[in-house]
Amino acid sequence: MRASHVVRIGDELSAHAPRGFVILKVLKLADKRLGPPLARELYEDHSPPPPPREERFPVRDRGAGRPTKQERRRMDRVRAR
């Protein structure tokens, strides 16, 4: 679904978010902007669980100092996957 389309009750929306792939089903529509607790009642979350934290980013030893150029390039390659 494109951003310019009207959202209706029963529509499923999918998108990529920082937490991973998100799939939402619209249950209700609101006339105005709502706070987070009330907004959660408007949709149903069908998203797969996010991957474990250690799989998303490589972990460096605390206090190891600034990464070298070679280490930075390795980290960039891992993040690009």
Per-residue pLDDT of 37-47, as tens digits, reads 999 999 999 99
What are the residues whose beta carbons fall under 8 Å from the beta carbon of 13, sequence distance 6 or more?
1, 7, 23, 24, 25, 26
The total number of structural domains in the chain stands at 1
What residues make up the domain containing 73?
Answer: 12-80
Residue 24 lies in a domain: yes
In this prediction, the residues of the chain whose per-residue pLDDT falls under 50 are none
Residue 21 lies in a domain: yes
Query: What pTM, to 2 d.p., does this model score?
Result: 0.58
Instruction: Determine how many CB atoms are found less than 10 A away from the CB of residue 30.
Output: 10
